[in-house]
Amino acid sequence: MATLLKEWQLYQKEFPSSPTVQELHLGGGTPSFFSPENLVEFMGKLKSDIEIPADADFSFEAHPSSTTTNHVEQLGKIGFNRISLGIQDFSMDILTRINRFQTLEQIENITYSARKNHYTSVNYDLIYGLPGQTIEHISQNIAHVERLKPDRIAFYSYAHVPWVKPGQRAYSEKDLPVGMEKQQLFEEGKKLLLEIGYLPIGMDHFALATDDLFKAFSNKDLHRNFMGYTPKDTAILLGLGVSAISSNENTYIQNYRDLETYQNKVEHGHLPIEKGHLIQVEEQETGRQIRNILCQYETSWDPSFLNSTSGLHIKSDLIDLENDGLIRKRENGLEVTQTGKSYLRNIVEQPQADFYNQALVDSTFREALREAANKSFEKLFATIPGSERIRLELIDNHYHNPVIHIQEFAKNGEYDLILMGAQGHSMLKSMLFGSVTEAIVDKNEVQLVLILR
């Protein structure tokens, strides 16, 4: 917590004035691991120099087994008005298989406490495709939902990644429903949710008509960022902590995923940014199309867009998507069919893949980035003492995993690397000033590598 606050102070130095925080989410893990007193003290320090509008949305993630009614009450007193419960499944036999320990009583107590303490929205995260999960389990889950009436449901597909989550090694892929069997679990859950009054929102989400998320969807004012769907359009998303992701309309950046490295960077007064990506003009337009589809089930474009690099690929994709019955083409746009609404992820994945594949082979694209990068670095280095000792080399990376490629260079001892990811980010000065000046003290020469994917 102390490191998080120090990281926040580093960002505060970059702000011209106290920032206005429209939304705050405490999660990305289970903050209820900390005591209510710890969390209240932490939030008090975090909120000491920010502007909070009256309609701000403050939420936190809650594990049923570690969250108490005291957590709910104390956080409610300092402005939290939404809680997201990571339930996954209500059935004890499924929970036992996935090494998750929680009881129905715990879920009920947290839900009732949130209502008592005037939380405006209670969210349940449920998962389909868990080991041993059947249609009967899905039916039982939705029966509990009907009785407890959370405002929102996130109904996620299970992802089997035991190399990331060691707890999943207790079972194997043969224990998992796949293909049509897994799809039937989703369709059954969707059907039952609709029957009890929940309405579909974009991808994987359902809400009651009274919830702000559905109201935003109905008014075509729903938005989506790295945190998921939101009724508020915030220009900047700032993530604090290990592996946290931040973004604005031009940039993505991610913190170090290793705790020790993250803490070391912050303790030495540097933003703990491991990599970033500067979003190009075509990517911005493609991203807008994708968000429209995910948030509104439709999108439109200027006729000139389909003649761009990514547009030409999308034009080809539309034929297959329409033949599969997932979309209906319109003049200068498309709408998702009723069938397609269950396959939104498939619809929006292809344009992204096409864009990056084209970027790898488009020399004009790479040269334009190279020129822009050189200008950015020249301007930046003029502000850094000792910049004459910095060499800049741009390399084209044709590997599927740029991080592996970079690590190979590092192992050979040929370079002292400061990794920027794809094409950098809008906080170049903040990130590189800290990292480079530190490296200059210790090294005779610094090699900066800008990876072009």
Q: Please tell me the chain's helix, strand, coil percentages from 3-state DSSP, rounded to the nearest 5.
A: 50, 20, 35
Q: Is 420 helix (H, G, I), strand (E, B) or coil?
A: coil
Contacts of 188 (CB under 8 A, 6+ apart): 135, 138, 139
The predicted model gives 260-275 an average pLDDT of: 93
How high is the pLDDT of residue 170?
66
Residue pLDDT, tens place only, 8-44: 999 998 888 888 999 999 987 678 788 999 999 999 9
pLDDT above 90 coverage of the chain, percent:
51
Q: What is the pLDDT of residue 422?
A: 30
Residue 119 CB-density burial (10 A; 0-12 exposed, 13-18 middle, 19+ buried): buried
Q: What is the mean pLDDT of residues 54-65?
A: 93
pLDDT value of position 204: 93
Residue 147 token pair: 């009785």
pLDDT at 444: 31
Say yes or no to pLDDT of 251 above 60.
Answer: yes
Average pLDDT of 418-447? 32
Residue 375, pLDDT > 70, answer no
* Residue 382: pLDDT band with limits 50, 70, 90: low
Residues 323-342 have a mean pLDDT of 91
Q: Where are the alpha helices (DSSP H) in 274-386?
A: 281-296, 309-323, 344-361, 363-381
Look-up: residue for tokens 């990644």? 161
352: helix, strand or coil:
helix
Residue 427 pLDDT: 32
What is the pLDDT averaged over residues 265-277?
Answer: 92
Instruction: Tell me the angle at which helices 363-381 and 344-361 cross, rounded to the nearest 10 degrees.
Output: 80
Q: Report the pLDDT averaged over residues 301-323.
A: 79
DSSP summary character for residue 410: H
Highest mean pLDDT among 35-49, 125-139, 321-335: 125-139
- For the segment 311-332, the average pLDDT, to the nearest whole number, is 84
Q: Which of 96, 172, 90, 165 is nearest to 126 (CA)?
A: 90
Please state the rounded mean pLDDT for residues 134-159. 96
421: left (phi over 0), alpha (psi -120 to 50) or beta: left
Residue that wins the pLDDT comparison between 315 and 202: 202
**Residue 128 pLDDT:** 96
User: For position 240, what pLDDT does the model report?
Assistant: 94
The Cα–Cα gap between 160 and 172 comes to 9
Q: Which residue has the tokens 């960077």?
A: 265
The domains of the chain, with CATH numbers, are 23-230 (3.30.750.200), 245-279+363-452 (no CATH), 298-360 (no CATH)
